Amino acid sequence: MKIIENPIKSDWSEILKRPTQTVNDIEKTVTQIFDEVKHNGDAAIAKYTSLFDGVNLDDNLVSADEIEFAKSQVSEDLKTAIITAYQNIERFHAAQKTDKVEIETMPGVYCWQEKRAIEKIGLYIPGGTAPLFSTVLMLAIPAKIAGCKEIVLCSPPSATGTIANEILFAADLCGVSKIVKVGGIQAIAGLTFGTKNIPQVYKIFGPGNQFVTVAKQLATKHGVAIDMPAGPSELLVVADDSANPEFVASDLLSQAEHGADSQVILVSTSKTMIDDVLKAVDVQIEQLPRQEIAKKAIANSKLIFVENDKIALELINEYAPEHFIICSKNEALFVNGISNAGSVFIGNYTPESAGDYASGTNHTLPTNGFCRAYSGVNLDSFLKSITFQKISKKGLLDLGPIIEKMAAAEGLEAHKNAVTLRLNDINKN
């Protein structure tokens, strides 16, 4: 990890740059695969599954028998853990339900807003070296609470042509409609255009690597919505002398082990804390099964010393971290002052892992600075707000002349006429 002391503000942008490829580097590949899936459907899906996942599948749909077998292979202890996480996530997201908003804006003019579920959604669940069954819970639970009619899950198959037992158990627990063994760009393309085996959906959710992120962005050009631009994982910890350096190191490594393109950053007002965390990282990383991945991510990460908390907060808001951990005596300053973060973890005993798995909050969050404008996944992500209005004769008599004047001023005579005809009819009677 690189130690940086008191960086000048003009250098912040360069120092805080993510270790990701530009869209131009990978967009050509994504576009090519999209075109093939659009024109060749499942044949193109099979081609790229063979190429990228190294497996040829006779059928990429997960059967009921496969699900039942997978459920039998998950230990009872893990089932209990997953069910407990399910309950916490369900409680937190169910609490996000809101009532209908209804108001009479003026006598006889009634306006209201109601929420409706997005009918068809696609969930992308990364597999590979770390099959994220926890992401199934994070996406399928709020979809179920929202009332989405069709929930399609795509996840890359292993070399043996299977999906992790834990993913299938979680998907069954959450009531997923259909599970397809397909990953990467081709999965996003399949959900975008639809094939014989993969239903076309209205919105795609789920994290992934940079190729998946660009594929999701390309899907929006074809009329499919996405949750957010979510790419490689990232974490920023702010810590002073009140923090525990071993805890901080463990949090940094928890994100570093996600992938070689992950990024972790420590911002501190204490040089001693920085030194102690660096030592703890060196010790803990050697104990990790995924240490080679973590070491690559750590090589792209920073330890930044700043003079005071005010500077730290300004720098953190500029970086806009996906995950933000606060371990500081000046906790309130950071809690109240943070405006750009995906999810915030407060205090020495609130590890980021809690949000990743089981506290109840959602772990599908905007990365690469997108939390300046995007929220993490929540119940509203699976809902649309529809506005309604009803106007009585009395209401139109009062409101109509206002509409007529505004429409005439904009030169839109047909708009004015739609009101005038009704007013004439009311006045006639």
Is residue 263 within a helix (H) or strand (E), and if so which, with residue range? Answer: strand 263-268
Per the annotation, binding residues are 124, 186, 209, 233, 255, 258, 323, 356, 410, 415
Cα–Cα distance between 369 and 40 in angstroms, integer? 36
Per the annotation, binding residues for NAD(+) are 124, 186, 209
Cα–Cα distance between 226 and 240 in angstroms, integer? 38
One-letter amino acid identity for 423? L
Q: What is the dihedral of CA 22, 210, 200, 322, to 10 degrees?
A: -100
One-letter amino acid identity for 132? L
Please state, as a whole number, how many other Cβ atoms lie within 10 Å of the Cβ of residue 424: 10
C-alpha 216 chain-centroid distance: 12
Are 199 and 222 in contact, with CB atoms under 8 Å apart?
no
Cα–Cα distance between 256 and 1 in angstroms, integer? 11
Please state, as a whole number, how many other Cβ atoms lie within 10 Å of the Cβ of residue 326: 24
Q: Check residue 357 and report its DSSP letter.
A: H
Query: First and final CA of the chain: distance in angstroms?
Result: 81
Largest CA distance in the chain: 87
C-alpha 393 chain-centroid distance: 46
Are 319 and 312 in contact, with CB atoms under 8 Å apart?
no
Give the residue numbers annotated as catalytic, written as ranges: 322-323
Cα–Cα distance between 360 and 358 in angstroms, integer? 5
How far lies 345's CA from each of 165, 353, 355, in Å? Answer: 30, 10, 8
The pairing of beta strand 343-346 with beta strand 101-106: unpaired
Count H helices and E strands in the chain, helices first.
17, 14
Per the annotation, binding residues for substrate are 233, 255, 258, 323, 356, 410, 415
Is residue 100 within a helix (H) or strand (E), and if so which, with residue range? Answer: none
Cα–Cα distance between 310 and 326 in angstroms, integer? 14
One-letter amino acid identity for 4? I
How far lies 169's CA from each of 23, 302, 415, in Å? Answer: 35, 38, 55
